[in-house]
Amino acid sequence: MAARAGESAEHAADGGAAAVVLLREVGVRRYTTDQVILDAIDWTVRPGEHWALLGANGAGKTTLLRLLGALMHPTTGTVEVLGSRLGRVDVRELRTRIGHVTSAQRVPDDLGAHTVVLTGHTGTVQPLWRRYDDEVRQRAHELLAELGVKELADRPYGVCSGGQRARVLIARALMADPALLLLDEPFNALDLPSREDLIEALHHLSEGRPRLATVTVTHHLEELSPAVGHALLLREGRVLARGPVDEVLTEDRLTACFGRHIAVARREGRWAAWSSRPRDSYRA
């Protein structure tokens, strides 16, 4: 098995007792072709940890996130999310305690941002007005303010910018006060100012919710908030490395993950990565 970073004595000692996510020897196969999608995945996410999930297209990131979101079951191994093991729990109830944000979410364009956030209380696409009392409505306003978009309360979702939509969807996911927030490429198609606004909002979110755990799927290190302290690299369905970002997001490990030479820099908690030739090649 490939070398893995971040296997600390603490990890071995606690056995994941306080884990938000606990995966052991998890495998996923496609039944129709017997293709291996994920193989022998071990992973622990604890309260308050913020993880980046990275890998090339086809590495298995989406499948892994679906397991964490209780949207599918593993073929082999065990998956425990928020103390409940998949296969032994009503996943419909479990999903209500997990925040899941993706740009592919279906949201009616004519709904105002406040109404979109309200639907997170009922987990529905359309609002169920009788289920929203004054306390619930006020909570939706507070979440919009927490994400820095309170002025959008009455603006139709369809005319919000991409960055504004992302923050509205995160506010919606937080209506259930989840212990785990899954962010599936939340920066997709955002311009630079919108990206930076969202990074800042996520950083503030981490400061205000010290027990909230997050997992962010991204293709770009530049999209990682300074709050992201852990990373997991997937290559061809297997864990290449996992652990603290300083140990995982290295030139050698990213080069091995993506199959081409990757240079890495970090400044003031932010990351940058670019493809370049190995240093020795410049001496020719």
CB 93 within 8 A of CB 69: no
pTM of the model: 0.87
Give the pLDDT confidence score for residue 280 in this predicted structure.
55
- Sheet of 230-235, strands arranged across: 98-102, 180-184, 213-217, 50-55, 230-235, 238-244
CB 137 within 8 A of CB 115: no
Name the token pair of 268.
């003031």
Mean pLDDT by 10 residues, the chain (284 residues): 43 58 95 87 96 94 94 95 93 92 87 96 91 96 96 95 94 95 92 93 93 94 95 96 96 94 93 78 50
Which neighbouring-strand residues pair with 184?
102, 217
Task: Please report the domains of the chain, with CATH numbers, ordered by start residue.
Answer: 9-259 (3.40.50.300)
Strands 230-235 and 50-55: parallel
CB 224 within 8 A of CB 51: no
35 closest CA partner among 53, 72, 60, 54: 60
Cα gap 21→47, rounded to integer Å: 9
